[in-house]
Structure formats: structure tokens, C-alpha cells
Chain A
Amino acid sequence: MFTWVASSGHLLGGTRTCRYLDWAPYERLGRDAVGHGTRRLTYTVHFSPKHNPIATISHFERLSIIITMDEEQQQTASTWPPPPPFWKAFTPDNIARIEELRKETAERAGIQDPSSIRIDSLPRELRNLQPPPEPADGEWRVFGDKYGLKDELPQLEDGEIRRLFPNPDERDQDGKHFDRATILKRLAKSLLLNFLELTGLLATSPEAAEDKVTDVRDLFINFHHLINEYRPHQARESLIALMQSQLDRTRAETNAIRDAKDHAERVLEGLGSITIEEPPNYKTINDEDPFDPDIKAWNMLVDQYT
């Protein structure tokens, strides 16, 4: 709950829903006259993020107006920041215009992909629609943390860990990873052996165990490093498996559809062959044929009703 003061030019009326917060249940606390006829109203607002996170632009505007006008009162209880001011530049008109400009520039420069093009002299209102260029030094900061453009696995040497396996260039001939498996298995065995040595050292001369602990630590870190190196490979492998299963599924579906279709067509053909036979009920009576089973009945009927 926090209180702000709004001048009468920006009175809030009715119910306002804003992103992340809801000021529906606000109540007016007090009202007094300040300065030259400017009325000040004090509202109490209950914030609750559970409420509907839908906001309309006018609500945002109104909120930002109030916050800028009453900055002094806002300092202790800051709310969610308003969206950056350049969001107003992203109108459908402007987006269409920059698309047009990009296409033109691409045609002039003879570049195929218009999405990656950079236009140097943009009108002011379109300037915000062009994303800034990539950082030249390949690094940027967010919330005080440094990030690199290239997501690299840190090398073991950077952490002053002894490396216990050969360079990537020297192992894994033909790009296969049998060597990696072998190295991992060796490391696993070394771990057990080193643990055995560690317990032995702890029992006989504990002061020498320090080095052994470092050994075990290095083994573990090496192990994890190798595993993490393998992750991109596994990701591709998972993608292959996923695509394979999708392919199988699509093929199975196609086959099922074809089967159903063939079955339906066979049934249709069957129906066609049935209709060729004359339905028994509409057979004409053949007087010439004395063996026609129906002739007797017909004759009886004829006798009876004529």
C-alpha cells in the first residue's frame, strides 16, 4: 500500500487496471488546497500483482504522468517501471515504412536479406525501430553482469585447473567421440583410485592429504568439463532423434490415411458390383420359364384377383 498525491489535472476516476498492479480498491484519504487554487487529493492504493495483468496504453500514460509529477513521493515506494519511451514509435504505420525503406536499401545495395540491413539516415520517428548494432568488442553488460556475444565454455586453464586429457585436436580422430568415452572412463576409475589413496593418507598422514584432495577436485572438474564440452553434440543428437520420430509419425499418418482411403474405395467398388445385379424384388416375371420359383405365386395371385 502506498500513497501518492495527484494534482486535480490528473484526477483518477473510476476503476483503472494497469499491468502488474491493480488500483481498483483505492480510496481517497484526504483532500486539501495547496498553492494557488490547485487541489491536491491523496489516494491510497492497494497493489496486488494477482490482478488482471491487462493494461491499455492510456492507463500506462496516466500512471507515468502521475509518477513524474510526484517523483518526490515515489522515491520510497517505486512501482514497476513504465515501458521505455520508444514504444510509442512502433505504430503499424512506422513498421510498414521501415520495412519499405529496408527493402529499398537492400535492392539498391544488392543484398538478398532485407532483415539484416542497416539504414544510416533514418527519419527521427523511425530511428527507434532500428535495433542498435552489435557491440563492437563482443561484450555487453546487463544488471552489472558481463556477457559475451559468443557463449564459450571457459577453458580449464582459466580456472587454474590441471588438464588431465589431451587437446581436442589431438583426440577424437574422424570427429568421432570414442576417445572421449575412454577418457571419461579413465577419469572415473582414477576417481575411485584417488579416493582410496585419500582415505589411506587420511589414516596414516593426514597432513599429506591436502594434495590428494586437490587431485580429486581436479579430477571432478575435468570430468564435468568433458561432459559440458559434449553438450552441443548431444543437443544435435537430440534434434536428430526428434526429427526421426517426427518423420516416422508423419509417415505412419500418411499410411493410415491411405489405408482408410483404399478401404473406402474397395467398399465403393463392392457397392458398385452389387447394383449390377437386379434386386430380387423387382424381377420381372418370366412366363416363359416354367422353373421360375416366383411364377406359381404370381399365377395364384393373378387367378385370385381377376
Chain B
Amino acid sequence: MGDRLTQLQDAVDQLATQFIASINYINQHHSLETLGPRDQIVVIPKQEADQQEVDPHPEDVFRAALVELAQDLITKEQQIELLISILPGLDNSEQDQERNIRELEEELKVAEAQRQEAIKEREETLAKINAVIRSIRRP
């Protein structure tokens, strides 16, 4: 987890990875077609199938995988759009930000002074209470 921009950047990178993964899947698991009437699809024995470039998946599995990959792509794209729309400070210009920062700086100074004052008052009250407690004697 990083800031929003980093999240967005990561999401875009993930989208690219998904592109590659999708193409890779299609490239490896598509079904084989005959190009001419004399072509034949060679059935490869199971133990050699791992070394083959193309390992056709059954039609229904392949279709389901395609649908899943496509849905994932759409989901990722929507995530990206969401992240774009919640980027921080879209409606602030640089001047706005500078003014904001300046104002906050001033307010911080005031607040800090107030805090110091409050601390001082607290100490005074504490001293008062201490004096009262010490003055209590058995009459």
C-alpha cells in the first residue's frame, strides 16, 4: 500500500501484466485447427505434452478461461478509473495549495501558542491544588 498515485501506478502495471498473461494463455492453450484438407492434427501422448508449445485445453475450459480473463481486465480497468477519480487534490491548483499551506502554518503557530498557554495554566492550577492540599491540617 502506498499513496494513491503509487497505487494507481501499480494498478496500471498490473493491467500490463494481465495483458501479457492473457495473450500468453491464449497462445499456449488455444485449440488446433487444420489449415488445409490434407492436414491432420497430431495427437501428442500425455507425457510429451508438457514439452509442446501448444497445449490445447478443452473447448469449454478455454472459453471459461477467456471469459474470466476478460472480466479481470475489465475489473482492473474499473479499479484504475476509481483510483483516478479519488486522486488527492484534483480540484486544487498549485496556488490553492500554497495558500492552504500558508494558512495552516499560521493556524499551527496559533494553536501551538494556545497549547503552551494551556500547559502553563495547567501548571498554575496544579500549584494551586498543591498549595491547598498542603494547607489542609487537622484543625
| Chain A residues in the interface with B (C-beta under 8 A) | 174-178, 180-181, 184-185, 188-189, 191-192, 195, 198-199, 202, 216, 220, 223-224, 227, 230-231, 233-234, 236-241, 243-244, 246-247, 250-251, 253-254, 257-258, 260-261, 264-265, 268, 271, 279, 282
Contact = CB atoms under 8 A, between A and B. Distances in A.
Given A224-B12, A230-B5, A237 B92 contact: yes
B124 to A, nearest CB: 8
Interface of B: 3-5, 8-9, 12, 15-16, 19, 22-23, 26, 73-74, 77, 80-81, 84-85, 87-98, 100-101, 104-105, 107-108, 111-112, 114-115, 118-119, 121-122, 125-126, 128-129, 132, 139
A257 B115 contact: yes
Given A199-B22, A258-B121, A175 B3 contact: no
Contacts, number: 134
Contacts of B15: 188, 191
Given A189-B77, A191-B15, A192-B77, A254 B118 contact: yes
Nearest to B121: A261
A236 B121 CA distance: 36
B90 A240 contact: no
A172 to B, nearest CB: 8
A24 B95 CA distance: 60
A261 B122 contact: yes
B85 to A, nearest CB: 6
Contact of B111 (A184, A189, A234, A251): A251
Contacts of A224: 9, 12
A165 to B, nearest CB: 13
Given A227-B5, A234-B3, A250-B112, A177 B107 contact: no
A234 B129 CA distance: 49
Contacts of B121: 257-258, 261
Contacts of B73: 192, 195
Given A181-B87, A188-B80, A236 B5 contact: no
A240 B100 CA distance: 7
B3 A184 contact: no
Nearest to A281: B139
B132 to A, nearest CB: 6
A216 B19 contact: yes
B97 A240 contact: yes
A223 B83 CA distance: 13
